[in-house]
A and B are shown apart, each in its own frame.
Chain A
Amino acid sequence: MTSLQMPKVQQSILSSKDKIISELKKILNSNNILSHEDEIRPYETDALAAYKQKPLLVVLPETVEQVSEILKYCNDNRIKVVPRGAGTGLSGGALPLADCVLLSMGKFNKILEIDYKNRCVVAQPCVTNLAITHAVQDNKFYYAPDPSSQLACSIGGNVAENSGGIHSLKYGATTNNLLGIQVVLMDGTITRFGGKTLDSEGYDLLGLMTGSEGLLGVITEVTVKILRSPEVARAALIGFSTIEDAGKCVSEIIAKGIIPAGMEIMDKALTKATNDYSKAGYPVDAEAMMIVELDGTEAEVSELIKRVEDIANKNKCSSIKISKSDEERLKFWIGRKAAFPACGDLAPDYMCMDGSIPRGKLAEVLKEIKRLSEKYSLPVANAFHAGDGNLHPLIMFNANDSEQLRKTEEFGSEILKYCVKVGGALTGEHGVGIEKRELMCEAFNDTDIRQQIDIKVALDPNSLLNPGKVFPILRKCAEEGRVHVHGGKTKFPDIPRF
């Protein structure tokens, strides 16, 4: 682990571990409190596995009342709490703190209601994303947001991170497919935002909670929209001999008024890696490979795919293949969906970045990434949700080599700064977590961040819920010369920091 700074560990909390356990036993069955080193080890990291830290202890509540009582107890006794779903997050949002109670939602794993009349599903937060689709697919419905970890990631975690996926261009991210949540605030208050209605009255607290990375409340129930599965889906697999041509093709498809269900680009390195891994039949000589998926009715899809084909030809594509069956379409996606494991084959570790950029800047940004890759002598492969401008460079390195990890972090930061520079965002769908915390100063000034912290403090005055995430811990920001520090004072000195 590198020099990542986390909130100061409270020795008094560490030394009261036994007392805390005995108090929590009044709330929970003792089987649901884990404190032995071997029991808590599985919780020491999430999918940002370069960072590890064991929590003080782990609790596994089974009811919303227990969640409320745990939070209230921790709030009253100033104990930090880190909530955790399936632990698949890529930005370290569920990384424990040494003196925290890790609140695992693992036992909240049931679908509570399938309501076809209102086309929604009510689920507990640790139901996996894909399980929702599985529960309704026989009736020809599905849940649209599909992060690539959908087999394992939890729906509550999706809400906390506002997860996207391949289909978010046409169908939106989690926030656009969420109708309601039940949530517990740090002081133990249980409440609901939204429900089964479209929009909710008053401040959009549902929208605020979505993507708040577990800092504002613990989600205990989720109501999501389900959509009728499209009748037909067809994909085009298109090769280009330059990235520029692929980029132009994307822009033209959009400009012509076509909104595909998915539009993905992989660079040559990733095309080759994924093809070797999954034998998907990709055009491995192409500099860029694009998958465009259209869905709808038969006539609509046939018409649109023809138009996409014409646009691709006009933009000098080097190869084009249209799926003739659903089997073939899924085969096109197999490689793309295996991008992570395929990179795992190329290097001991990889770090997946998550910048957003204007679609038209793709070629420019990839050129810069190539330059940086040479500068840091670290190989990189790129996957790109081209439709919505979300870029995932995968930097390959060896985490056992601390110098390489440091270089990887720097390389990653430089990519993200560049994304912001061209008009994009630090994170498109993975969240800030600990990973991009210090980069927040690239996107926001002090006042912007202060306003966000004011909201945090309004709902969690002692900053006990998932502290150390999202907001910069100032010193580093200041050291890098981006923040003006007066007389050695830290930024936001009046908010509690632990």
Chain B
Amino acid sequence: MSMEEKQNFQTFQDFSSLVLKPNREETIADIVKYCYKKNIPLEICGLGSKKNIGRNFQSQKTLDLSNYSGIIKYEPEELYIKVKSGTSIKEIKEVLEKKNQQLAFEPTDFGPLFDGKNNEGTIGGVLSCNFAGPRRFKVGSARDHILGFKGVNGKGEIIKSGGTVVKNVTGYDLSKVITGSFGTLSVFTEISIKVLPKPDLTKTLVIENPHLKKGLEYLNAALASSSDPSGAVFYPEYFRNQFTFNDLTTEGPITAIRIEGSKLSIDERIKQLLNELAINQKEVSILEPEQSNIFWENTRCLKVFTNLKNDLLRAIVPASETFDLINKLKPYNIKYFIDWGGNLVWLQIDELNSNILNEIKSIVKNFGGYLTAIKVEESLKATIDIFTIDDVKYKISEKIKKSFDPKRILNPGKMYTGI
């Protein structure tokens, strides 16, 4: 390192270690700037909760943001919180809880899947990956909740977009582009995110129903009803024994619909929903608030896949196609459950190889959706595409990547080869 570089680098002393853990924004920018000059590829990480998702790629250093954490500003009445990117979701939730607010998109917790225990990661990681939980169809995903950010692009420049107010169309909506880009465009430093009131109560209607087809029809009818559900999920019978609730008196698969709001409103809406779905009280169990919360928390955390040995895929299709999709995938020896009212299918699969993956990908694509390989064996990772993309979008994405990170030093290859 030259004298000049050292001076530029004074905010960060020890560049020799493989893992860099800055605690200041300027330092983050300095590190990236240095790596830009020297062509040093960086892996960006927070608490490592989603480290296994995405392609393997070559990096020389790890930029660990878990020390860059803390709440910068929380204004409950303005419905936003501004935090440093390495702040853990756990900490954010604790702060919001005190004001009875929440991150309404319920970020997926992959901790149980990869590591057997909860690890929700950091806000930066959650936004970089954009995986939303059961409430997605009602409130949107992480990308619908980010209001603004500051970050460091691949040249080491600090950039910002958006702000802290909900209505803002000043310039391009870069917050959306960065969200879901798996750290390949910029390193998040500050994030302003929308928060919403927690509902007073939640209850869950579980319908006694043995068939997938009927289950999907119930979910779809619930989403189209005026009962305004906030969760709609189907678990086949083989997952039934993972749910031991006193309130759960039905047998067989679980077709569950969540209703949230004030007590009066919930009871009215459940009654109405039973009417609209043309089912009677005897065919349902109602999970009361406490059990309902646990049920959806388990769904959000992919509890049924805790310490999964097999591979896990995530297919998103229009809800109208889900039944045919599952039927078409049966020969592949799958286990699955369906979230988002039929729009999201989690697929556990034995003996995945690149041929099978490509076949499944193309099946999902033909149904108008897309497939992401969430958990695959390391040996397979090198030979398959984790994400899906077509040629035109690849070319556009390549250009977008270049505009943020011209030397490809931020998580290069994490999403696609060459990006």
Contact = CB atoms under 8 A, between A and B. Distances in A.
A161 B403 contact: no
25 contacts: A117-B220, A118-B319, A119-B224, A189-B392, A195-B368, A195-B369, A196-B318, A197-B317, A198-B136, A199-B180, A200-B370, A204-B130, A205-B177, A205-B396, A205-B397, A207-B177, A210-B176, A259-B196, A299-B267, A425-B170, A447-B158, A451-B174, A452-B161, A458-B399, A458-B400
Contact of B403 (A118, A229, A454): A454
A297 B269 contact: yes
A18 interface: no
A385 interface: yes
Contacts of A443: 163, 170-171
Nearest to B390: A191
Given A427-B169, A443-B171, A199 B177 contact: no
Nearest to A169: B166
Given A208-B400, A228-B226, A358-B75, 10 more contacts: A189-B396, A198-B136, A199-B180, A201-B388, A202-B416, A203-B177, A207-B179, A356-B165, A443-B170, A444-B160
B403 A254 contact: no
A458 B402 CA distance: 8
Interface of A: 115-119, 140, 161-162, 164, 168-169, 172-173, 175-176, 185, 189, 191, 193, 195-205, 207-208, 210-212, 216, 228-231, 251-252, 254-255, 257-259, 296-300, 303, 356-360, 385, 388-390, 423-432, 436, 440, 443-444, 447-449, 451-452, 454-455, 457-459, 470
Nearest to B144: A176
A119 B141 contact: no
A385 B400 CA distance: 34
A448 B167 contact: no
Contact of B180 (A140, A204, A298, A428): A204
A451 B153 contact: yes
Nearest to B136: A198
B350 interface: no
Interface string B361-381: 000000011101000000000
Contacts of B402: 458
Interface string B6-23: 000000000000000000
Contact of A448 (B160, B200, B268): B160
| Interface-centre pick from A204, A211, A230 (highest chain B CB count, 10 A) | A204
Contacts of A429: 167, 169
B346 interface: no
B159 A448 contact: yes
Interface stretch (B76-84, B238-246, B289-297): B76-84
B229 to A, nearest CB: 11
A229 B226 contact: yes
A22 to B, nearest CB: 31
A298 B272 CA distance: 11
B80 to A, nearest CB: 9
Nearest to A120: B318
A198 B77 contact: no
Given A203-B180, A300-B268, A303-B265, A356 B144 contact: no
Contacts of B224: 116, 119, 228
A172 B144 contact: yes
A210 B173 contact: yes
Contacts of A470: 171
Contact of B264 (A212, A216, A251, A300): A300
A51 to B, nearest CB: 19
Nearest to B147: A425
Contact of B140 (A176, A303, A385): A176
Interface string B142-176: 01100000000100011111011111111111101
Contacts of A119: 223-224
A186 to B, nearest CB: 12
Interface in B224-267: 224-228, 261-262, 264-265, 267
Contact of A297 (B181, B268, B403): B268
B126 interface: no
A303 B174 CA distance: 40
Nearest to B401: A203
B57 interface: no
| Interface-centre pick from B166, B185, B267 (highest chain A CB count, 10 A) | B166
Nearest to A210: B173
A197 B141 CA distance: 12
B340 interface: yes
B144 A299 contact: no
Interface of B: 75-79, 100, 130, 132, 136-137, 140-141, 143-144, 153, 157-161, 163-174, 176-177, 179-181, 185, 196-198, 200, 220, 223-228, 261-262, 264-265, 267-269, 272, 316-320, 340, 343-344, 368-370, 372, 387-389, 392-393, 396-397, 399-400, 402-404, 415-416
Nearest to A140: B226
A251 B75 CA distance: 11
| Interface-centre pick from B226, B269, B416 (highest chain A CB count, 10 A) | B226
A451 B320 contact: no
Nearest to B196: A259
A213 to B, nearest CB: 8
Nearest to B140: A176
Contacts of A175: 144, 173, 176
Given A175-B176, A451-B403, A452-B174, A425 B165 contact: yes
Contact of B396 (A191, A230, A356, A390): A191
Contact of B265 (A117, A204, A299): A299
A117 B319 contact: yes
Contacts of B399: 458-459
Nearest to B153: A451
A201 B387 contact: yes
Nearest to B157: A447
A173 B167 contact: yes
A18 to B, nearest CB: 35
A296 B169 contact: no
Contacts of A458: 399-400, 402-403
Contacts of B180: 199, 202-204
| Interface-centre pick from B170, B262, B344 (highest chain A CB count, 10 A) | B170
A202 B169 contact: no
A228 B225 contact: yes
A452 B316 CA distance: 30
B182 to A, nearest CB: 10
B268 A298 contact: yes
A153 to B, nearest CB: 14
Contact of B372 (A164, A198, A201, A430): A201
A208 to B, nearest CB: 5
Contacts of B179: 204, 207
| Interface-centre pick from B78, B220, B320 (highest chain A CB count, 10 A) | B78
B137 A198 contact: yes
